[in-house]
Structure 1
């Protein structure tokens, strides 16, 4: 699914429901959260807002997830993002997981910074 609002970019969600709990994995930000149904499933409460259904609609069919990919294993994937190798991050990014793309960019920036030679000093050190 997707989460959008007037003052924010649309975020891609992977969701799974168990009774009155809706587990969400935000593929755009990397956050994992539980949301809660109430009022005969008309209301969903989240840590930061409440959504109330105004009318019913049919959900779009989601593309088939890649076997062993991030979308298929959302919780494990999002928890592994900070330590994932670039090859894995690249594969997850290719799946459309925005958080993996951002982590890949940060990883490349960190690697480039670590590989850069130390800047030459323009002045001699003070005695």
Structure 2
């Protein structure tokens, strides 16, 4: 093996929209590449066949599924973000919670003085932590 990269499969043709939100929230966020389906499919024209984006130095892949599945994202797998400032933590939490579902509001918990967990509007789960406490 040479690498392991998280791959996010979106339903409903929102992969590009989600990547644009995510990359706008991080100073180094960028969509590296995005291949889309053409008029001859098999997915709807213009939807993401496979994309590569980067957040906080971490590479991700994404796609729009043209098949409707009986499953979606689950919070049992989340993206952990270690924030450096209170402002960064609050900004990310608020942006990701807009249209989403806060699961643990920003607060002090036994494992962290300042932490929040949110499912964003696309169903992707994010754990946001301030300070030096590592993921358990």
TM-score relative to the length of structure 1: 0.30
Bigger RCO (CA 8 Å, 6+ sep): 2
* Between structures 1 and 2, the one with greater helix share: 1
* Between structures 1 and 2, the one with greater strand share: 2
